[in-house]
């Protein structure tokens, strides 16, 4: 026992010595390594010092990025909706200024107008940027200002006038929600760029796409940054250029959008708020996409000032929301054609089966009355008539017979309750309810009574205008689902080679031709005498198929009557209209949603008529708006 312990002790002692020996060896290696480093420093800082000082002090090479021109965004007919123009900017290089910047700016303002807003923006830039960069104090100088500054240039060393490219959106608020806008690069943007290894290509770039197509197609639009190898002196002033790799301009985008149509549609809304989405059912091309009111995207390019921002952000009209993609509305009676198809396809209704409508519907064993919009009812109604006069009672019964899960299964094929996948961001998925959905969302079971209002596109149903347009397009082309898209072609700006991004159909909805004909025939009669949109359809020169809808904004109590005149304008019903034409071979399918517009037949359908008249017959072509000359800001 004692012997073993002694052996162990001796081992430990020897082990410790051994360890210390190795520690000493390590220490020696550390010393050698540091000596090695130090001799390298001596070599660089004493032996070669003169050489490196020359490199650093007198002349040296620096890499100056050359920012590429951002690609243009062009409508389907060649009208430019986002372009660049060159203008003069007054820039200060803080690293070359050796006096108080405030005083300098005060002096500058005697030569060129500098507003307090310009000063605030400059300060913000100064905090965010490397000091050796030139920062703009004033953008878009007038010719007179350029001349005045040039005469006084000698007083302001370190201040230069440089030609810069500015982004401009001629379509202003008419295309604000489609094109989107660019804005100054933020720290968050830099992080994202770094994540994607794109930061190097953004050296020198100040702007990046923030919303809409500008954001989604940022990579195409930006282009490749060029570089100039420049000799600079110790103060950072360029002496001469040694080599140059030219930048490659960003690609141009040709949209599916029709500027003329977009404009007609925007005008047709007048003072109303709302949204319109028109799609070519043959390929999913988005022809027009309106969200009213829009806003002036030009305000955002160089940073919006607080006052304008607050005005936009707090406006009751919510101009910053893209209603077409983010607005959720009950589809109302425009849901009925899809319900009718469900009834026919699932054999719950035949063409000639008719019901008697007393003006309300009750579930057996309940006294609750689901009321028809027409007091007293429509009398005997079959499927065709139910669509033409928009009978609610017929669809209440149909919804009950189908059951919520059958409705969900059939109608979700038309894209309700899911993102359509359009090529700009921010789309809301909307809601098409099912038993499972309610369980998940509210942890409650589904009640039979809740199915009834789904039959007329109310209750839990909530869709975006884009979804409704997409569903109408699928109905119009007999069941082919194309992903809606705004960009048609990407054109390489140097080679002019274009790359089409037309996609094959995403999927098919199988529908019986006879059933489709029944529903489409009824939708044609909607716009004919006796139909709910007869007025808007009068004298149409093409087969005009449509369906009106009205979406409740507030619930009406059981013993109350909805009276438009007694209700505040913002609580009035939304007016809806879906349409496609020409019915036999549709080339346009659309939805019109007029917020608080009352009835689909009186406000929404006429807008649809004007838009289709323009698209199919070329009526009322309006000229391109003149380029915006004076910006309200900057």
Considering only residues 69, 109, 165, 227, which one is a binding residue for other proteins as defined by CB under 8 A?
Answer: 227
How far, in Å, CA of 306 to CA of 398, rounded? Answer: 53
Please identify which of the residues 249, 333, 453, 601 carries the catalytic annotation: 333
How far, in Å, CA of 189 to CA of 196, rounded? Answer: 11
- Please say whether the beta carbons of 453 and 370 come within 8 A: yes
Two tokens at 395?
């669809």
- Of residues 518 through 537, those in contact with other proteins by CB under 8 A are none
- Of residues 235 through 274, those in contact with other proteins by CB under 8 A are 236
Under the binding rule (CB under 8 A), the answer on residue 442 touching other proteins is no
Nearer to other proteins, 23 or 147 (CB): 23
**Residues 6 or more apart whose Cβ sits within 8 Å of residue 416:** 331, 338, 430, 432, 461, 463, 467, 471
Two tokens at 513?
């031709």
Return the beta strands (E) in 310-394 as ranges: 354-357, 360-361, 370-371, 379-382
How far, in Å, CA of 252 to CA of 220, rounded? Answer: 8
User: Which segment (115-123, 190-198, 351-359, 447-455) binds other proteins by CB under 8 A?
Assistant: 190-198
Under the binding rule (CB under 8 A), the answer on residue 1 touching other proteins is no
Q: To the nearest whole angstrom, how small is the minimum distance from the Cβ of residue 16 to other proteins?
A: 8
Under the binding rule (CB under 8 A), the answer on residue 42 touching other proteins is yes
- Please say whether the beta carbons of 395 and 334 come within 8 A: no
Q: To the nearest whole angstrom, how small is the minimum distance from the Cβ of residue 95 to other proteins?
A: 7
Considering only residues 161, 185, 232, 448, which one is a binding residue for other proteins as defined by CB under 8 A?
Answer: 232
Considering only residues 26, 77, 162, 412, which one is a binding residue for other proteins as defined by CB under 8 A?
Answer: 26
Total interface residues for other proteins by CB under 8 A: 48
Two tokens at 269?
């809304």
Considering only residues 9, 10, 56, 506, which one is a binding residue for other proteins as defined by CB under 8 A?
Answer: 56
Nearer to other proteins, 129 or 622 (CB): 129
User: Which segment (41-49, 157-165, 279-287, 567-575) binds other proteins by CB under 8 A?
Assistant: 41-49
Considering only residues 100, 144, 197, 630, which one is a binding residue for other proteins as defined by CB under 8 A?
Answer: 197
Nearest to 447 by CA among 432, 463, 433: 433
Nearer to other proteins, 56 or 538 (CB): 56
Under the binding rule (CB under 8 A), the answer on residue 37 touching other proteins is yes
Two tokens at 303?
């940073």
Under the binding rule (CB under 8 A), the answer on residue 58 touching other proteins is no
Question: How many alpha carbons fall within 13 Å on the CB side of residue 236?
Answer: 12
Q: To the nearest whole angstrom, how small is the minimum distance from the Cβ of residue 62 to other proteins?
A: 6
- Of residues 546 through 585, those in contact with other proteins by CB under 8 A are none
* Torsions phi, psi for 574 (to 5 deg): -85, 140
Question: Which ranges of 131-186 does DSSP label H, i.e. alpha helix?
Answer: 143-152, 172-179
Under the binding rule (CB under 8 A), the answer on residue 23 touching other proteins is yes
- Of residues 111 through 130, those in contact with other proteins by CB under 8 A are 130
Chain-centre distance for alpha carbon 209: 11
Under the binding rule (CB under 8 A), the answer on residue 13 touching other proteins is no
Please state, in angstroms and as integers, the Cα–Cα distance from residue 402 to each residue in 333, 444, 453, 468, following that order: 17, 21, 13, 21
- Asked if 333 is an active-site residue, the reply is yes
How far, in Å, CA of 612 to CA of 592, rounded? Answer: 12
3-state secondary structure 56-73: HHCCEEEEEEECCCCCCE
Residues near other proteins (CB under 8 A) = 8, 11, 15-16, 18-20, 22-23, 26-27, 30-31, 33-34, 36-38, 40-42, 44-46, 48-49, 51-53, 55-57, 60-63, 95, 130-132, 194-195, 197, 227, 229, 232, 234, 236
Positions marked active-site: 333
């Amino acid at each position: 026992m004692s012997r073993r312990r002694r052996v162990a002790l001796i081992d430990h002692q020897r082990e410790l010595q051994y360890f210390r020996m190795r520690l000493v060896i390590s220490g020696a290696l550390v010393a050698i390594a540091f000596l090695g480093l130090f001799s390298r420093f001596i070599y660089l800082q004493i032996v070669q010092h003169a050489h490196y000082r020359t490199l650093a002090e007198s002349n040296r090479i620096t890499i100056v990025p050359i920012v590429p021109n951002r690609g243009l965004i062009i409508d389907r007919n060649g009208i430019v909706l986002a372009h660049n123009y060159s203008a003069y900017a007054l820039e200060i290089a803080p690293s070359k200024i050796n006096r108080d910047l405030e005083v300098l700016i005060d002096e500058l303002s005697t030569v060129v107008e500098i507003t307090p807003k310009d000063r605030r923006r400059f300060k913000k830039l100064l905090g965010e940027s490397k000091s050796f960069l030139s920062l703009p104090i004033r953008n878009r100088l007038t010719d007179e200002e350029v001349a005045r500054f040039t005469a006084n240039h000698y007083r302001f060393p370190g201040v230069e006038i440089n030609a810069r490219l500015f982004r401009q959106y001629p379509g202003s608020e008419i295309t604000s929600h489609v094109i989107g806008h660019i804005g100054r690069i933020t720290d968050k943007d830099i992080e994202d760029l770094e994540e994607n290894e794109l930061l190097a290509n953004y050296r020198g770039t100040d702007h990046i796409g923030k919303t809409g197509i500008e954001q989604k197609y940022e990579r195409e639009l930006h282009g490749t940054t060029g570089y100039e190898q420049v000799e600079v002196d110790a103060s950072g002033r360029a002496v001469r250029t040694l080599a140059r790799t030219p930048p490659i301009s960003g690609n141009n985008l040709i949209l599916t959008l029709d500027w003329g149509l977009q404009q007609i549609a925007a005008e047709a809304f007048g003072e109303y708020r709302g949204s319109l989405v028109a799609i070519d059912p043959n390929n999913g091309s988005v022809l027009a996409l309106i969200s009213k009111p829009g806003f002036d995207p030009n305000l955002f390019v160089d940073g919006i000032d607080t006052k304008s921002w607050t005005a936009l952000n707090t406006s009751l009209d919510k101009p910053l929301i893209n209603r077409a993609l983010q607005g959720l509305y009950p589809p109302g009676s425009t849901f009925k054609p899809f319900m009718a198809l469900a009834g026919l396809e699932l054999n719950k209704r035949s063409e000639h089966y008719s019901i008697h409508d007393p003006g309300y519907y009750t579930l057996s064993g309940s006294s609750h009355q689901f009321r028809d919009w027409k007091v007293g009812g429509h009398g005997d109604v079959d499927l065709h008539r139910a669509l033409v006069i928009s009978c609610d009672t017929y669809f209440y019964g149909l919804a009950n017979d189908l059951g919520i899960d059958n409705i969900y299964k059939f109608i979700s094929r038309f894209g309700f309750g899911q993102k359509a996948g359009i090529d700009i961001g921010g789309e809301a998925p909307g809601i098409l309810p099912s038993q499972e959905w309610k369980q998940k969302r509210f942890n409650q079971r589904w009640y039979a009574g809740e199915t009834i209002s789904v039959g007329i596109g109310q209750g839990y149903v909530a869709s975006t205008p884009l979804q409704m347009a997409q569903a109408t397009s699928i109905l119009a082309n007999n069941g082919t689902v194309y992903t809606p898209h705004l960009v048609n072609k990407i054109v390489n700006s140097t080679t002019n080679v274009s790359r089409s991004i037309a996609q094959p159909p995403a999927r098919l909805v199988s529908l019986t031709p006879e059933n489709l004909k029944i529903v489409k025939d009824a939708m044609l009669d909607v716009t004919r005498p006796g139909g709910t949109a007869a007025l808007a359809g009068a004298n149409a020169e093409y087969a005009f198929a449509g369906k009106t809808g009205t979406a409740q904004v507030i619930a009406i109590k059981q013993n109350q009557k909805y009276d438009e005149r007694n209700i505040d304008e913002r609580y009035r019903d939304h007016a809806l209209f879906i349409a496609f034409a020409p019915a036999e071979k549709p080339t346009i399918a659309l939805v019109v949603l007029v917020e608080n517009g009352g009835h689909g037949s009186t406000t929404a359908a006429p807008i649809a008529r004007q838009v289709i008249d323009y698209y199919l017959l070329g009526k009322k072509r309006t000229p391109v708006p003149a380029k915006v000359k004076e910006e309200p800001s900057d």
